[in-house]
Amino acid sequence: MQRRYLSLAAATVATTIALTLTGCGSGSGDGDVTLKLIAADYGDSEANGSQNYWDELARAFEKKNPGIKVDVEVYSWTDVDKKVEDLVKDGHAPDLAQIGAYADYAAADKLYRADQLLSVSTEADFTPSLAEAGEYQRVQYGLPFGASTRRLFYNKKLFAKAGIANPPQSWSDIARDAQLLKARGVKMPYALPLGPEETQAETLMWMLSGGGGYTDGIGKYRIDSPENIKTFNWLKEDLVGKGLTGTDPAQLNREDAFQGFVDGEVGMLNGHPTLMKQAEAKGIDYGTVELPGVDGKAKATMGVADWMMAFKQNGHRAEVGKFLDFVYSDKNVVKFSGEYGLLPVTTSASQAMLADDKYAKLHGFLKQLATAEFYPADKTSWPLVSKTVKAKMGAAVGPKGNPAGVLTDIQNTADAADNAAG
């Protein structure tokens, strides 16, 4: 799976839908309208590619709505955000786009509000934490589509060989267990991927475990907070400095860390639901627990969502709204989430998944979603801040690293970007 959490993040594990008029009609229900859907691919092969999901869903929608057609094109996550960006710049904004960030388009007044599109029941059904994460200036423009949370994965076989009876619950447990794993010859006792692929995700997970985060309670950047400085000093001195990561974190990407885990070379690491499928395919006996914190479990875990948004340019509000109500029906949300190892973004679909033992391995991730913390995607400054984090945080925990100095540099960049945005 080519994704932030993946990546959701990521990056954010993150599917783009663009719906563009290619037929006649005014968008008011007169005549036929064709909505073009550009979607990102969540699959890892042609057999389970997202094209199959969307084609089936589109045909089912068209059968119930004879006056609306949906034409689907699927792009890789490498290309899909840029595809939508180019369409908008060229004056051909899609009707709908589901991509990694919505704030720039909302700030430019290019998007419909959620309440202009969805039925009351559909809008009210979004998981509250996700609905809030989709707000720009307290108004929801981003509709969550596919979510994930993070837990600590550990290799049960390696733990048993090292004499570790229980998974870690705190930082001191992590350090102790990593020492025991190292003594047994485990290549990477704790995998710490702070390479350029998804540094912003691992950084946020550790910030949350230390009681901090990217922002404070009112949304102001607090990257250089005392809690964050303490967290990365601990990583530098007590984990990386003692050789417990097995490799330079600045050179380790998420994908490689996951590969190390499924190859049996990693004792523990932070991961998202898709790692379960990868581990099971390689016969790895694994467990998951909530992220450890300073003195016990972390205050919250990281959540990642991708975003659906509707552009105003083509004026197809009614048709887009009908399609979105269909997309967010329980049946379709559960089907998509189950197929790609993601979490439902609506309360009713989440309850349905929690009640189904078929999805038991996702239940631990799903129960965390209500209190998960997300990237500050509502800020137009976030893309630049994320890019800066990717460039600098890995070196901060290295032998010559200066966590406080790096966090202050990133804070200054964030403040400048926020001020420039007004």
pLDDT at 135 exceeding the cut of 80: yes
Instruction: Say what the pTM is.
Output: 0.85
Backbone angles phi, psi at 151, to 5 degrees: -140, 165
Of 54 and 406, which is predicted with more confidence? Answer: 406
pLDDT for the residue numbered 29? 44
Please give, one letter per residue, the 3-state secondary structure of 288-331: EECCEECCCECCCCEEEEEEEEEECCCCCHHHHHHHHHHHCCHH
Q: Which is nearest to 60 in space by CA: 327, 369, 249?
A: 327
Token pair of 104 as six digits = 């720039």
pLDDT level of residue 31 (50, 70, 90 thresholds): low
Instruction: Give the CA radius of gyration of the chain.
Output: 22
Token pair of 286 as six digits = 């694994």
pLDDT for the residue numbered 115? 97
Q: Which is nearest to 307 in space by CA: 47, 68, 102, 119?
A: 102
Question: Which helix (DSSP H) or strand (DSSP E) does residue 52 occupy?
Answer: helix 50-64
Token pair of 165 as six digits = 């009876």
Question: What is the C-alpha separation between 294 and 292, in angstroms, rounded?
Answer: 7
Q: What average pLDDT score do residues 345-370 get? A: 94
pLDDT at 52 exceeding the cut of 70: yes
Average pLDDT score over the chain:
90
Q: Render pLDDT for 81-129 as a digit per residue (tens, 0 to 9).
A: 889 899 999 999 999 888 888 999 999 999 999 999 999 999 999 999 9
Four-CA torsion 91, 94, 100, 105, nearest 10 degrees: 50
pLDDT for the residue numbered 421? 77
Spell out the domains of the chain, with CATH numbers in brackets: 33-148+304-371 (3.40.190.10), 151-289 (3.40.190.10)
Which range, of 35-44, 102-111, 132-141, 266-275, averages the lowest pLDDT?
35-44
Beta-bridge mates of residue 343: 147
Residue 287 carries which side chain, given as an amino acid letter? G
pLDDT for the residue numbered 422? 67
What b/e string do you get for 369-403 counting C-beta neighbours within 10 Å, with b at 16 or more?
Answer: beebbbbbbbbbbbbbbbebbbebbbbbbbeebbb
147 prior amide bond cis, ω within 30: no
The sign one gets for the Cα dihedral 193, 295, 219, 133 is positive
Q: Which is nearest to 98 in space by CA: 171, 164, 36?
A: 36
CA angle 372, 377, 381 (to 5 degrees): 140
User: Euclidean distance between the first and final Cα of the chain, in Å?
Assistant: 37
| Alpha helices, H only, 127-221 | 128-133, 156-161, 171-183, 199-209
Backbone angles phi, psi at 229, to 5 degrees: -65, -45
pLDDT for the residue numbered 320? 96
Query: Residue 409, exposed/middle/buried by CB under 10 A (0-12, 13-18, 19+)?
Result: middle
Residue 137 carries which side chain, given as an amino acid letter? Q
Question: What is the C-alpha separation between 13 and 79, in angstroms, rounded?
Answer: 15
CB neighbour list of residue 163: distance below 8 Å, 6 or more residues apart: 180
Residue 264 carries which side chain, given as an amino acid letter? G
Token pair of 240 as six digits = 């990386």
Helical packing angle, 317-327 and 50-64, nearest 10°: 120
pLDDT for the residue numbered 331? 94
Q: Which is nearest to 389 in space by CA: 411, 373, 404?
A: 411
- The percentage of residues in the chain with a pLDDT greater than 90, rounded to a whole number, is 76
Residue 142 DSSP code: P
Residue 195 carries which side chain, given as an amino acid letter? G
CA angle 344, 299, 345 (to 5 degrees): 10
User: For residue 27, how far is the Cα from the chain centroid?
Assistant: 33
Four-CA torsion 154, 157, 163, 165, nearest 10 degrees: 60
pLDDT for the residue numbered 300? 93
CA angle 24, 30, 35 (to 5 degrees): 50
Q: Render pLDDT for 198-256 as a digit per residue (tens, 0 to 9).
A: 899 999 999 999 999 999 988 999 999 999 999 999 999 999 999 999 999 999 999 99
Q: What average pLDDT score do residues 385-411 get? A: 96
CA angle 154, 133, 379 (to 5 degrees): 110
